[in-house]
């Protein structure tokens, strides 16, 4: 792992990157009231990596996630998913791209309350009007341990189970990149760890790329690398993090 700006100077194709941000700036408002949520951030994440994004509140980590996932448009700069520049895409194409190549897991309210677990998992296929890959689906469901929970509605599941349904849904389309926003934020300790282990295992066994925003050093320690954000820029990076080292680094950031 190198510092992001060094990475940017190197030519891209050396390690195939699953996600690349090039000089991405995102600001809100204009004139004197302009808020710069991201200031010229360049990051490249190799395929099959698990990256945590950390930083104090207001550091821009959520904005980074939104821009990288195509939910928000950068004010300037480009975002590449694989070789596709998604920063200038029209809403419709972006939606279809999200459906096929990106997966999401959020802190809470991840599921459509009126659908069963199984229907929630299959929702991306239904939206795309495609048939799911049966074997892969069975695999994902087994991996997330949901085999006997498929007929339940979200309200009948525990928080950890709900989050596992969300992970299964994120995986089921075999996306290139999965984005997770505080996936353990609303869970108790053991359920949180269960979900993190699941995510780690997914990256290791399927080679999918995972980007996770979190403020929990323990959660961050599951990642291959941690990016530290402050004031809208990447101020540091850490390979093979441990919870101890991450919290030390965070306390220096003043969080």
In whole angstroms, the minimum distance from the beta carbon of 92 to another protein comes to 6
The backbone torsions φ and ψ at residue 77, rounded to the nearest 5 degrees and listed phi first, read 95, 175
Q: Cα(78)–Cα(213) distance, rounded to whole angstroms?
A: 20
94 vs 202, which CB is nearer to another protein?
Answer: 94
In whole angstroms, the minimum distance from the beta carbon of 56 to another protein comes to 17
Residue 109 engages another protein in binding (rule: CB under 8 A):
yes
Q: Cα(92)–Cα(80) distance, rounded to whole angstroms?
A: 17
The CA radius of gyration of the chain, in Å to the nearest whole number, is 18
User: Smallest Cα–Cα separation from 25: which of 14, 15, 11, 36?
Assistant: 36
- Number of helices (H) and strands (E), helices first, in the chain? 9, 10
Write the interaction track for another protein spanning residues 68-87; mark x where CB under 8 A is met and - where it is not. ---xx---------------
Q: Which one of 113, 131, 147, 189 is in contact with another protein (CB under 8 A)?
A: 113
Q: Cα(255)–Cα(232) distance, rounded to whole angstroms?
A: 14
Residue 119 engages another protein in binding (rule: CB under 8 A):
yes
Q: Which one of 20, 61, 169, 215 is in contact with another protein (CB under 8 A)?
A: 169
Q: Which one of 36, 39, 99, 152 is in contact with another protein (CB under 8 A)?
A: 99
Residue 127 engages another protein in binding (rule: CB under 8 A):
yes
3 vs 112, which CB is nearer to another protein?
Answer: 112
- 205: which residues sit within 8 A by CB, 6+ positions away? none
User: How many binding residues for another protein (CB under 8 A)?
Assistant: 32
DSSP annotation of 254 reads T
Chain residues in the site for another protein (CB under 8 A): 62, 65-66, 71-72, 91-92, 95-96, 98-100, 104, 106-115, 119, 123-124, 126-128, 153, 169, 181
């Amino acid at each position: 792992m190198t510092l992001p700006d060094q990475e940017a100077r190197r030519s891209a194709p050396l390690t195939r990157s699953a996600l690349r941000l090039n000089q991405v700036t995102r600001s809100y408002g204009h004139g004197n009231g302009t808020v710069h949520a991201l200031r010229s951030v360049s990051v490249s994440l190799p395929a099959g990596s698990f990256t945590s994004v950390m930083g104090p509140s207001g550091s821009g980590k959520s904005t980074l996630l939104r821009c990288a996932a195509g939910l928000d448009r950068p004010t300037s700069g480009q975002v590449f998913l694989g070789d596709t520049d998604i920063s200038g895409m029209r809403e419709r194409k972006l939606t279809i791209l999200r459906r096929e190549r990106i997966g999401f897991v959020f802190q809470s309210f991840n599921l459509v309350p009126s659908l069963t677990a199984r229907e929630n998992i299959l929702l991306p296929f239904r939206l795309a009007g495609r048939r799911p890959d049966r074997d892969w689906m069975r695999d994902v469901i087994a991996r997330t341990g949901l085999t006997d929970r498929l007929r339940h509605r979200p309200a009948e599941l525990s928080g950890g189970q709900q989050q596992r349904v969300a992970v299964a849904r994120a995986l089921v389309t075999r996306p290139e990149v999965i984005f997770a926003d505080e996936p353990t934020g609303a869970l108790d300790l053991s359920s949180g760890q269960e979900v993190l282990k699941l995510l780690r295992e997914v990256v290791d066994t399927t080679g999918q790329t995972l980007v996770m925003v979190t403020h929990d050093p323990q959660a961050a320690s599951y990642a291959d690398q941690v990016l530290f954000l402050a004031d809208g820029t990447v101020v540091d990076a850490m390979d093979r993090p441990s919870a101890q080292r991450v919290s030390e680094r965070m306390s220096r950031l003043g969080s």
